[in-house]
């Protein structure tokens, strides 16, 4: 087997080559001299659109932003209306030269960046670079990458919406001011390399505040009493729960109260005094917004917000298809087009029946602060059923597409009709109740169930008022109230959405950023604050209370919306923020005391000076470092040995990570004397066919054993089924 080091070197060289040619590839996308020019953001999108026009248009990708604020300095001039100093993004020079060259020979230039504020800003930067008039009709916008949508957009070009550009610019400037002004204070007072962010700091605070709530929580005791009743009409006992006295609700606080109720109920008769059945209509859920999609993908598929948005981007750009599979995935609108709604109703009638289509098409009202510029997230073509296109999608793409498809179809379906029955019993003035539920008409539930617990049928036998049942068992159970649950991706996104913190495009990168900064850690899908996160949050709350205020941050989002609507000048908004912020900075610099972070001491001595090394957090996790830094700069990886001996020499195997992307691999502890390495974890178990060592293969949450010998018949047989295994993995 070739060494990992050699393999990594080859990959590194290949990546450098790819980077050097990326701009050339993007710029050469269907270039045709004299043709109209369409500029999009991604090469994938450029390739798809080129196929729609068969060479009639030149389509080039900008590869995202082409200009931005410099990294070396703040790049903002507060004395001159907070004017940003934009520079060309590194690596975009050659690409921009080719775009300029194509623009010079083009009859018309169409800027077709994404349909949101960020996309509008990219178009504005491109217009500035190409010398286009902002007021000219050079901007086209489409919500889906389909031939119909793109051609319709070209027929209806518009001027660049400067209000949207201003809103993006205001956000960028505010974020830069907060980050570049507060971060140096944190470096000096806490630890070098720390940073603060306008939205990230608030998200971190939410997780830290929740941890404080959990720590301060005092559980309260309560009891429940449950009886199992015998009925001639039921093979299984009927469960009845204590409700109160004389049909009035009563909570049981102590064991003594519970014991008294149990004693009466055990010797009493359960006389049915009332049976009430009510029919409830459960309305179909709205089609996905970005926030709800991330929540459902986390809850149902186990995806992080970052994974959800990456996969959604793939589907929007069409994956391996010639057109996009879903509409634009960054939206807080629940609106859908009339055409899409009509297509959905036709599908519902033909596949499920007339009763499953509502008499009047479903209409959903969005949040008051929703940006209704484009539609909810939906499939672009309902003929592309998940099952039909499954083989052309990765496992993750299929799962998310299926979720989006079914949610949209369900959103256009009839209400579910559910009968809820409550049986009331009297036992010597004590009231017990049994609840049952039956789905009379499943409606949208035939396609999508957003809460299975609420709609699960609970069958009840035939019972009548006046009937008397005998208890076979009555027991009291002690419980304690529980603290609020820690956040996961889904609940944090929901909380941010409910509070108005951030917008559809910011949820996923916000979570990724605070994890990368080691303010938060994710363990088994749960988000925990780190000690560093708690310390920084306490400093921010004490010294920059506005910046980490939920209300202040939500109010700022609303003001940015007003900028987008042309109601507020962007630099006026920034100025109103900056004046008090500048005063706060001066006070904070003088008042914040230096915080000494105590590093966790290991049992490993430093090879160079003998001091016991300490644990540090780096880009790819923890490592060992000498506490005498900078006098001694010795560092070591944390050695994690596995039980399996080296198949080559018998020494211990160590879990390692590669430089660069930090990918895990396994190597011999005697390296470089022994050069054994493996991407998969070797096992002690031997192959029953050839005797070679087995390895553990991992695909998402799925794990299976595989022979390490690629020539072995068992390896080949298992590897042939890998595709199906991969499709079933997250």
- Best CA proximity match to 641, nearest among 691, 682, 699: 682
Look up residue 335 and give its two tokens: 């609106």
- Best CA proximity match to 213, nearest among 484, 21, 419, 396: 484
Q: What are phi and psi of 301, to 5 degrees?
A: -110, -15
Look up residue 43 and give its two tokens: 């090469």
How far apart CA 202 and CA 100 sit, in angstroms, is: 41
**How would you classify residue 55: left for phi > 0, otherwise alpha for psi between -120 and 50, otherwise beta?**
left
Mutual angle of helices 395-411 and 338-351, in 10-degree steps? 90
- Best CA proximity match to 489, nearest among 228, 720, 303: 303
How far apart CA 112 and CA 270 sit, in angstroms, is: 71
How far apart CA 291 and CA 313 sit, in angstroms, is: 15
Q: Which residues are catalytic?
A: 328
Tokens 């509008």 belong to: 120
DSSP 377: B
Contact 289, 331 (CB under 8 A): yes
Three-state secondary-structure class, residue 449? coil
How far apart CA 573 and CA 159 sit, in angstroms, is: 24
Helix (H) or strand (E) holding 726: helix 722-727
DSSP secondary structure string, 394-428? -HHHHHHHHHHHHHHHHHTSPPEEEEEEEEEEEET
Look up residue 352 and give its two tokens: 């499920």
- Best CA proximity match to 97, nearest among 6, 167, 30, 28: 28
Q: CA Rg, the chain, in Å?
A: 31
Helix (H) or strand (E) holding 575: helix 570-591
3-state DSSP of 35-98 = CEEEEECCHHHHHHHHHHHCCCEEEEECCCCCEECCCCCCCEEHHHCCEECCEECCCCHHHHHH
Look up residue 659 and give its two tokens: 């430089």
How far apart CA 498 and CA 562 sit, in angstroms, is: 19
Mutual angle of helices 570-591 and 162-189, in 10-degree steps? 0
Look up residue 159 and give its two tokens: 């001027």
Q: What are phi and psi of 158, to 5 degrees?
A: -140, 175
In sequence order, what are the residues at sequence separation of 6 or more whose Cβ sits closer than 8 angstroms to the Cβ of residue 362? 283, 284, 411, 412, 413
**Total length of the chain:** 730
Contact 68, 55 (CB under 8 A): no
DSSP bridge partners of 678: 666
Query: Across 34-133, where does the E strand assignment appear?
Result: 36-40, 57-61, 67-68, 76-77, 83-84, 87-88, 109-111
Q: What are phi and psi of 326, to 5 degrees?
A: -135, 165
- Best CA proximity match to 337, nearest among 368, 370, 371, 380: 380
Contact 561, 371 (CB under 8 A): yes
Exposed/middle/buried for residue 573 (C-beta within 10 Å: 0-12, 13-18, 19+): buried
Q: How far is CA 374 from CA 55, 317, 328, 408, 498, in A?
A: 29, 17, 8, 15, 21
Residue 255 CB: number of other CB atoms within 10 A?
13
């Amino acid at each position: 087997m070739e060494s990992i080091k050699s393999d990594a070197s080859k990959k590194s060289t290949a990546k450098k080559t790819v980077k050097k040619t990326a701009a050339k590839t993007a710029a050469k996308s269907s270039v045709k001299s004299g043709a109209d020019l369409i500029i999009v953001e991604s090469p994938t999108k450029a390739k798809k659109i080129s196929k729609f026009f068969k060479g009639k248009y030149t389509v080039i990708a900008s590869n995202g932003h082409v200009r931005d604020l410099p990294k070396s300095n703040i790049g903002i001039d507060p004395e001159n209306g907070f004017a940003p100093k934009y520079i060309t993004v590194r690596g975009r020079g050659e690409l921009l030269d080719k775009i300029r060259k194509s623009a010079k020979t083009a009859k018309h230039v169409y800027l077709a960046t994404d349909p949101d504020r960020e996309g509008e800003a990219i178009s504005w930067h491109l217009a500035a670079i190409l010398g286009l008039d902002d007021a000219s009709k050079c901007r086209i916008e489409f919500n889906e990458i389909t031939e119909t949508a793109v051609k319709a957009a070209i027929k209806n070009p518009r001027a660049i919406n400067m209000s949207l550009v201003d809103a993006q610019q205001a956000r960028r400037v505010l974020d830069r001011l907060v980050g570049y002004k507060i971060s140096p204070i944190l470096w000096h007072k806490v630890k070098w390399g720390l940073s603060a962010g306008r939205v990230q700091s608030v998200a971190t605070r939410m997780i830290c505040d929740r941890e404080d709530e959990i720590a301060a929580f005092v559980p309260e005791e309560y009891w429940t009493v449950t009886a199992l009743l015998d009925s001639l009409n039921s093979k299984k006992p009927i469960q009845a729960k204590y409700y109160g006295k004389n049909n009035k609700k009563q909570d049981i606080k102590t064991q003594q109260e519970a014991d008294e109720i149990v004693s009466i109920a055990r010797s009493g008769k359960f006389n049915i005094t009332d049976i009430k059945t009510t029919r409830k209509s459960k309305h179909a859920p709205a089609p996905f917004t970005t926030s709800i999609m991330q929540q459902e993908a986390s809850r149902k598929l186990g995806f992080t917000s970052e994974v959800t948005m990456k996969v959604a981007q793939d589907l929007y750009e069409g994956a391996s298809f010639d057109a996009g599979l879903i509409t634009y995935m960054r939206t807080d609108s629940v609106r859908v087009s009339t055409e899409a709604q009509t297509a959905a109703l036709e599908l519902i009638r033909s596949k499920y029946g007339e009763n499953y289509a509502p008499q009047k098409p479903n209409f959903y009202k969005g949040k008051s602060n929703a940006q209704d510029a484009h539609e909810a997230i939906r499939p672009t073509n309902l003929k592309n059923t998940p099952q039909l296109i499954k083989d052309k999608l990765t496992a993750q793409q299929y799962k998310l597409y299926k979720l989006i498809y079914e949610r949209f179809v369900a959103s256009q379906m009839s209400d579910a009709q559910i009968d809820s029955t409550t049986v009331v019993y009297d036992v010597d003035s004590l009231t017990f109740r049994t609840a049952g539920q039956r789905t009379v008409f499943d409606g949208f539930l035939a396609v999508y169930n957003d809460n299975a617990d609420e709609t699960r049928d609970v069958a009840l036998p035939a019972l009548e008022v006046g009937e008397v049942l005998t208890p076979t068992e009555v027991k009291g159970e002690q419980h304690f109230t529980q603290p609020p649950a820690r956040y996961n991706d889904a609940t944090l996104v929901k909380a941010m959405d409910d509070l108005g913190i951030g917008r559809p495009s910011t949820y996923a990168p916000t979570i990724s950023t605070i994890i990368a900064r080691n303010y938060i850690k994710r363990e088994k899908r749960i988000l925990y604050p780190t000690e560093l996160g708690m310390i920084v949050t306490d400093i921010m709350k004490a010294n920059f209370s506005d910046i980490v205020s939920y209300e202040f941050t939500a109010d700022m989002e609303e003001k940015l919306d007003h900028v987008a609507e042309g109601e507020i000048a962007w630099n006026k908004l920034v100025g109103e923020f900056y004046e008090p912020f500048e005063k706060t900075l001066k006070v904070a610099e003088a008042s914040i005391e230096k915080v000494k972070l105590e590093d966790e001491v290991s049992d490993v001595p430093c090879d160079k000076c003998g001091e016991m090394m300490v644990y540090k957090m780096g880009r790819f996790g923890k490592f060992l470092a000498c506490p005498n830094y900078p006098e001694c700069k010795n560092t070591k990886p944390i050695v994690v040995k596995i039980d399996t001996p080296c198949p080559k020499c018998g020494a211990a195997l160590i879990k390692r990570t590669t430089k660069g992307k930090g990918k895990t691999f396994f190597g011999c502890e005697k390296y470089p004397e022994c050069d054994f390495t493996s991407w998969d974890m070797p096992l002690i178990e031997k192959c029953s066919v050839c005797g070679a060592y087995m390895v553990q293969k991992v695909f998402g949450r799925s794990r299976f054993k595989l022979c390490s010998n690629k020539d072995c018949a068992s390896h080949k047989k298992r590897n042939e089924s890998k595709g199906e295994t991969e499709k079933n993995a997250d």
